[in-house]
Every structure is written in C-alpha cells, then in structure tokens.
Chains A and B, each alone.
Chain A
Amino acid sequence: MSTNICVPLHRAAHGRTGDKGDRSNISVIAWHPALWPLLVEQITEAAVARQFAHRQPSAVRRYLLPKLHAMNFVLDDVLDGGVNDSLNLDTHGKALSFLLLDLPLDVPAELTPYLVGAG
C-alpha cells in the first residue's frame, strides 16, 4: 500500500519572483517531470491565495506550461503599491517565491526519490 508523505513544496519545485507595478508573478518549476502532476493537482490558485492571504490579493491566476513542467502564478495587488509605494524593505517582493515554496505537498512514497534537499 502506498503511503504519502507531506513535504514543503521547495523539495519538489523551484521558482522565482518578478514584479511589475503592484503585481507579482511567481514561477513554480518541477524539479522532475514525475512531480509535475502533483503540482497541478495541489498547488492551486486557492492554495496560493490562502498562503498570501495577509497580502490580500485582489486576484490569483495560475497559468500552466506543461512542456516546461512549470506554472506561473500572477498575484494582483500584493505589493502594497509596488516598488515605489510599499514600505516593505523588499519593495519588489523578491523574497515571495520562498513564501509560496513553503506550501505543503503530499507526495506518494514512490515519487520521493525525485525530491531534492532535506527535511
């Protein structure tokens, strides 16, 4: 019987934040194609909206890029006005990919060899 383990998303994927105005985009890229279906199933717009609830996004959209085994999240109005307006030290939101990559991911035992890192 297969058992699932729960790991932080950063063990299955990596990503990068970009910003334009008050909008942030965060890519999530599977470390291995075998992990990609888990991301599609679990790293949803709703899950990301919950993770960023304190920043009160007005919209969260997910775009899938199946050939790249990647997805692109676009979060509107999460930068407190953006690079010129926010009081945050990180006005660009450069660090936000690491907030997204803290999301939990359930991984079936047979896919755990594809995970990276420890913990």
Chain B
Amino acid sequence: MAIKPNLRIGCAAGFSGDRTDAAGPIVETLLAAGGPSVLIFETLAERTLALAQLARRADPQGGYEPLLDELLRPILEQCMAGDIRIVSNFGAANPAGAARHIAALARELGLRAPRIAVVEGDDLSGAEQRRLLGDAADGLALVSANAYLGAEAIADALIADAQIVVCGRVADPSLTVGPALAHFGWARDDWTRLARATMAGHLLECGAQVSGGYYADPGVKDVPGLANLGYPIAEIDAEGDCIVTKAPGTGGRIDAHTVKEQLLYEVHDPGAYLTPDVVADISEADVVELGPDRVKLTGVRGHARPASLKVNLCHETGWLAEGEISYAGVRAEARARLAADVLRLRLEGLGPLRVDLIGVASVFGDDAGRWREAQVPGEARDVRLRVALKHPDRTQAERLLREVTALYCCGPAGGGGVRTALRPRLGTVSCLVPRESVPARYRFIEAAAA
C-alpha cells in the first residue's frame, strides 16, 4: 500500500474574536506547497456557544460566528480553486445558518456552489434531549447545552467529498483529527495515531499561541513581528506525528519553548488528555527543533477513548456590575482606598464587593480581597479603583453603577474617569452523557435550499 502524502493543516483562528486576517498567508503557503491541505478556524470558547444561543433567540437566522463573512471572504475563492478544504466550528448554535451564509457568499463571489456539510447532534438543549442531562440542568435557567463531539462525523463528511465542514460544538483538536482520519484512512481505534493527530490539533487550536502569541516578554522572550503573527501550519505524516511551522515572511516564532508552552496549555494530567476521540498521553513527548520556525513533536502515545462525552451547560445567573474611577498624584493610593471604603458602606448588604487597586493590586488577588489586604499600603501615584459585584436582580446590581458615578461629587478629591458596565452573567456546569446517546451526524446543505 502506498504511503499517503503528508497532510498540511493551517489554523487561522484560535477563538471568536481572534484576528480575521490570518488566513491569507496560510492559504498562500498551502497553495505553494501543493498536496492535500486543510484550513481550520477554531472559534468556540466555553461560553461562546451560550452567547450564540442568545443571538439565535434574538434572530433565528443568526447564532453562528458573527465574523464568519470577514474570515472567509478573502480566501474562499483560493481555497475552492486550490482544493483546500475548510473545517470549522464557526457554526456555533446554528451550523445550517452558517452554511447558508457561506453558500450565499460563494454565489456573490461568482464561485461554483461549494459542497458544504454541517455536523449536528451536539445541541442537547431541546426538550427531547434534555432528559439526557439527568439532574444537571435542574433548576437552571438553561441557555445552552452542548456535547463535545469528536472527529468521526467530520471525517465522514470529508470522505463524502465535502469541501467545507461546518460544526457547532466539537472538541477543538477534532477539527484536526477529522481531516487526518479522512486523509490517512486510519482505523477508528488506532489510538496511537489518533493521539498524535490530537496533539497536533491541540498545538493548532489556539492559533498564534504556538507561534509567539501569549509568549512575548521583552528582553527574555522576544518575538519578532508580534503585530503580524504567522498562524500555525502542521504537517502531519502517516504516523500522525507532526511538524509545526508557519508561513514565510510572517512575524512570530516557533521554537522548542513556544511549542512546550502550548503543548501543556489547558492540560491537566499529561498522561491522560481526554478528548472524545482518544486519551492522549504526552508524558514521554518530546519536541525537536528542525530549523527556524520548524518544530517536530514526537513521543505521543494513545489509549482508548472515554465511554462518555462531556456536555457543557450554560445558564443565566443574574448580573455583573462593574465600576472604575481614577486617582493620580500625591496620596492617590490613599484616596483610592478611601473611595473603596465609601463604596463598601454605601453598598453594604448587597453581597460581596470585589475591590481592585489597579496599579497596586488587582489581578493576582482573590475576590475576597485576602491578597490586597496582605499588601502594605504604599504611595502609588496613579491608581484606578475598580469594584465589582454580582446580583440576581438587575435593579440591585445597578446600584453599584450609580454609587461609583456619585463618587464624582461625593468621593475623595480628584476622582475622575468613571466608567461603569452592567452585563448579564452566564454560569457553566458540565456533566457526562453516554457516547451512544448523542448521535453525531453530518448532512449536506443543498445548494438550492441555501
């Protein structure tokens, strides 16, 4: 049997809200290299799907990635002409809606109708599926409930010759495993190769985080061209091992250190990284620098996939109220601390108030303020006070906004620059459901219906 050529997979987005101009250099590189290639976009963080469900409630045609058009418009023609497949979870709460949008975009650009498949089955928020959640959803104002699907439906859609696969919630690495599975034709219980492809996907799924993003620290961890980061491309071989690289002429860096940081990102037990596709084991993994911006990952092992799928439930939990005010010059820190004391008294009984002195003690601290209280008061001359609280009732939460604003006239001397914000809060809980109770499937969106 002939060995299949390597598969190149580029990742042009690592979350919803990522840069939207990353795909161009990847596509150029994939076209120049020739051979089988795929472009992925990962746009669903834990709470993105809940926001998408809320958007779909407001507009039944919406609920997919709001920047979908901006992501695809510049590269759709090149991808279709050069046979670069596109796989993404940008369908969010409405994969079919996203697919229709893409079909319309292709028409507008004068392209032949692409073969677009949607992957479905992840949404468990409907009345019928909700019983699967057991008591996990009891008493919650549920916004979304989505199972993390694996790679198989993506692979099946690609084998059926989909040019674009639009998913909702799938495990992030499955966006990579699906195309690898389809291309190499591995057995679906080939745990070693699935695990290797999974870790390739893991390195890709946060976009530029493997190529210099979330890494730079001047003088110690210098990254050239941070404003023009090259997003990663993985070259996956028939064994599932991968080389991570990026487009020539782009900014960023890929070396052993950037890859190690991303390899361990959001990993708990390195011996058991759980996904719907496999249990990956990186405890003996190694990285090898092959050249500039070229690193090979080796030594990944795999074990049989879990019997259950993880489900994330998002629910409404009331309101988050925040307010800020600045103090500068002599005794600024003391005035900010005094303003905090005033707010504590004015908002007493409303629930725990978080107090930050931005410039003195803020993000390292805990909500209860143990960290801040352990810091010796100082003489900081440019301090921004921030307070925050949560409350189930909107009117009560709004009191914080009014009290911070009132500091203009009633607070310490020289307080300026008040900003306040009130936003709905979403809570997340997760549960496990038996894999066989969540039938993941794909279907083609008919061009006529689109």
Chain A positions near chain B (C-beta within 8 angstroms) = 10, 14-16, 18-21, 23, 25, 27, 29, 31, 54-56, 63, 65, 67-68, 70, 72, 74, 80, 82-90, 94-96, 99, 116-118
Contact = CB atoms under 8 A, between A and B. Distances in A.
Contacts of A95: 363-364
B364 A96 contact: yes
Contacts of B283: 63, 65
Contact of B268 (A25, A88, A94): A25
B390 interface: yes
Contacts, number: 120
Contacts of A80: 366-367
Given A21-B428, A90-B363, A65 B270 contact: yes
Interface string B267-279: 1111100000000
Contact of B367 (A10, A83, A88, A117): A88
B264 to A, nearest CB: 4
B262 A89 contact: no
Nearest to B219: A117
Contact of B428 (A54, A82, A96): A82
B46 interface: yes
Nearest to B389: A87
Contact of A72 (B47, B270, B386, B425): B270
A9 to B, nearest CB: 13
B427 A89 contact: no
Given A18-B267, A27-B265, A68 B286 contact: yes
B220 interface: yes
Given A54-B370, A80-B366, A16 B285 contact: no
A18 B266 contact: yes
B47 A15 contact: no
Interface centre among B260, B287, B354 (most CB of A within 10 A): B260
Contact of A29 (B220, B257, B352, B366): B257
B420 interface: no
A25 B264 contact: yes
Nearest to B215: A16
A65 B285 contact: yes
Contact of B257 (A14, A25, A56, A63): A14
Given A29-B257, A67-B299, A116-B220, A54 B426 contact: no
B220 A117 contact: yes
Nearest to A69: B260
Given A29-B260, A84-B425, A99 B266 contact: no
**Most chain B beta-carbon contacts within 10 A, residue among A54, A94, A116:** A54
Contacts of B214: 16, 94
17 contacts: A15-B261, A20-B46, A21-B430, A25-B264, A27-B261, A29-B257, A54-B370, A55-B366, A63-B269, A65-B270, A68-B264, A72-B264, A87-B389, A89-B356, A95-B364, A96-B364, A117-B220
Contacts of B221: 14
B114 interface: no
Given A14-B257, A85-B390, 9 more contacts: A14-B217, A16-B264, A20-B266, A29-B257, A55-B371, A72-B268, A84-B425, A84-B427, A87-B389
Contact of B267 (A14, A25, A54, A86): A25
B285 A54 contact: no
